[in-house]
Amino acid sequence: MRQRAALARTLAVDPAVLLMDEPFSALDAQTKMVLQQDLAETLAAERKTALLITHDLVESIALSDRVYVMSERPGTIIEEIVIEIPGREDPMRRRRDPRVGAYVAELMSLLHVGERKEAA
């Protein structure tokens, strides 16, 4: 409920762009997906743009037109990935798209997720 209230307060001042830093990180998986759906529908209805910072790879794909991948420190943009799955206003449907797995694999590769570091 707090997340919905915070979003409502933010939209009340009619910003051109919403800046959101890990807005769903403290939520359980089911609540997170419901609020992501609410956010996507609201952004579409209000014709707003959001810049969302997240560590959740599937969340980034489900909610975005494009994903910018940052490097380790110092953080710089190393890649822009255009998400070519229709229906950004419906992240629940997007999560079920068979292309999500390929996007996740690409992000994992760019972020070196699952790679073992060599011992020094």
Q: What pLDDT shows up at residue 14?
A: 87
Q: What is the fold, at CATH topology level, of the domain defined by 2-111?
A: Rossmann fold (3.40.50)
- Residue 34 is predicted with a pLDDT of 93
Instruction: Tell whether omega for the bond before 74 is within 30 degrees of 0, i.e. cis.
Output: yes
Helix (H, G, I), strand (E, B) or coil at 23: coil
**All structural domains of the chain with their residue ranges:** 2-111
Q: How confident is the model at residue 120 (pLDDT cuts 50, 70, 90)?
A: low
Q: Return the sign of the alpha-carbon dihedral for residues 52, 53, 59, 62.
A: positive
Q: Which residues contact 29 (CB under 8 A, 6 or more apart)?
A: none
pLDDT digits (tens, 9 = 90+) for 4-40: 787 778 888 889 899 999 988 888 999 999 999 999 9
Q: pLDDT at residue 116 above 80?
A: no
Per-residue pLDDT of 43-93, as tens digits, reads: 999 999 999 999 999 999 999 999 999 998 888 999 999 999 999 999 999
Report CA-CA distances (Å) from 39 to 20, 74, 106.
11, 30, 25
